[in-house]
Structure 1
Amino acid sequence: MEKKLLQKKIVQTYKQLKSQIETRLKEFRSTYKKSDLEIFKELLFCILTPQSKAEKAWQIIKDLEKENLILETPQDILEEKLKNVRFRFNKTKYIKEAQDRFVKGKRIILKEIIEQFNDEKEIRRWLINNVKGLGMKEASHFLRNIGKGENLSILDRHILRALKELEIIDEIPKTLTSKRYEDIELKMKKFADEINMSLSHLDFVLWQIQTGRIFK
């Protein structure tokens, strides 16, 4: 889409979706105030999402919860649950490692760790260094989904495509180092400021324009 047309569509779409976006972000903030289980579910969900449909990933999480398997899942059962997910063996390993790291008996310690940080970028940095399966995008996604990442951007292929069309970036990077990710995030934040929109709202608007839906 041409730059000027996309900018116009962003403004129009935002007028239509603003209240819906605010409601969704409020729901995300409330997640953090709920049980530790809800936060941990979001972490496992974001481990599953790379190159997989979000709806499918969330359904797996709901199935695991229904069978009381969120805190601990036998490997063979988890591999079966993930049979239609890309990189299922790696993701099985990452989920098992997250369960081992953050579940102590029946107690989940993830929230305790998050609360040691005051800055969302510091939390993100800790996550990508300590949780296998989470890169910058997935860690940002997780923090946004628990109401702790509204100043972070989820730079997936849809958002990057839109940023290229807006001429915010020259090309879609084949790989994203942490530094490159943060550079693009800053450019996106600058654009959001220019059109009087928060970064989290712009993220949702661009996702809606590119995919036609809002999910998680």
Structure 2
Amino acid sequence: MPIEKIDELKAIHISIQDEIESRLAEFDRIRKIGDDKAIFAELVFCILTPQSKARVCWAAVENLLDKNLLLNGESDQILGELHGVRFKYKKSEYVVEARDKLSIDGKIAIKSRISRFSDVCDAREWLVRNVKGIGYKEASHFLRNIGFGENLAILDRHILKNLRSLGVIEEIPDSLSRRRYLEIEIGMMEFADRVKIPMSHLDLVMWYNEAGEVFK
């Protein structure tokens, strides 16, 4: 395990710990007081993020909210707001399909769907199996962003790059099967325990290490 890189990671953690805790508190507030629209917005953000920049995707979500399209727009209307989002044609369809899947009598009811799970891993499995465009990374990201998945690994390219440089994984896999995802997640949890950085913080520290900011 490369000691210098670990020391660097710990130093970053100390320097941004207050910012991380503030962001995690925001996520927790969404879980506690956020309505279905706010929670669905986080899901849409995670549907949009694969191979796209996080800030671009969140800007698209904000546009959808501002124009009252998130809960009411057709796929072509949603498509028109996905500026800079890769694979936007498919993703606009995924948003509408997810909205339909998570609605009861025409009203979005995602909060009740998620809150029925007492185990976050069960919630993640349900999302992966039932929401098109959501894999293990996206489901973990969504659950973390609504204050329900702080110990899940969000294995995007930034995190995988850090895990490789820290010796947690030998190489970045070309693709992630369920089995491989969970293996790496366990390895990341064990690493977090060894370096005494909470799992909920470690993801944001690694993201900061690559992107230079604490975002979503």
Q: TM-score, length-normalised on structure 1?
A: 0.95
| Alpha-carbon shift at residue 197 of structure 1 (Å) | 1.5
Long gaps (5+) in structure 1: none
Name the CA distance, whole Å, in 2 between partners of 1:122 and 1:198: 22
In the alignment, which residue of structure 1 is the partner of 2:110?
A: 110
In the alignment, which residue of structure 1 is the partner of 2:65?
A: 65
1:13 aligns with 2:44: no
| Alpha-carbon shift at residue 3 of structure 1 (Å) | 2.4
In the alignment, which residue of structure 2 is the partner of 1:29?
A: 28
In the alignment, which residue of structure 1 is the partner of 2:76?
A: 76
1:142-153 to 2 correspondence within 5 Å?
A: 142-153=142-153
| Alpha-carbon shift at residue 36 of structure 1 (Å) | 1.4
| Alpha-carbon shift at residue 5 of structure 1 (Å) | 2.1
Q: TM-score, length-normalised on structure 2?
A: 0.95
Secondary structure in 2 matching 1:81: coil
How big is the alpha-carbon RMSD for the aligned residues of Structure 1 and Structure 2?
1.3
Aligned partners of 2:137 and 2:154 also within 8 Å: yes
Aligned partners of 1:152 and 1:185 also within 8 Å: yes
Percent identity between the aligned chains? 45
In the alignment, which residue of structure 2 is the partner of 1:184?
A: 184
1:47 aligns with 2:47: yes
Aligned partners of 2:51 and 2:86 also within 8 Å: yes
Per-residue displacement from partner, 1:69-119 (whole Å, max 9, x unpaired)?
A: 111212222222225321111101100101211234563211111122111
Per-residue displacement from partner, 1:37-83 (whole Å, max 9, x unpaired)?
A: 11011001110111111111111111111111111212222222225
Residue type of the alignment partner of 1:178: R
Name the CA distance, whole Å, in 1 between partners of 2:180 and 2:167: 16
Paired residues, number: 215
Residue type of the alignment partner of 1:73: G
Name the CA distance, whole Å, in 2 between partners of 1:50 and 1:124: 17
Aligned partners of 2:138 and 2:154 also within 8 Å: yes
Long gaps (5+) in structure 2: none
Per-residue displacement from partner, 1:106-158 (whole Å, max 9, x unpaired)?
A: 63211111122111111001000000001110000000000000010111111
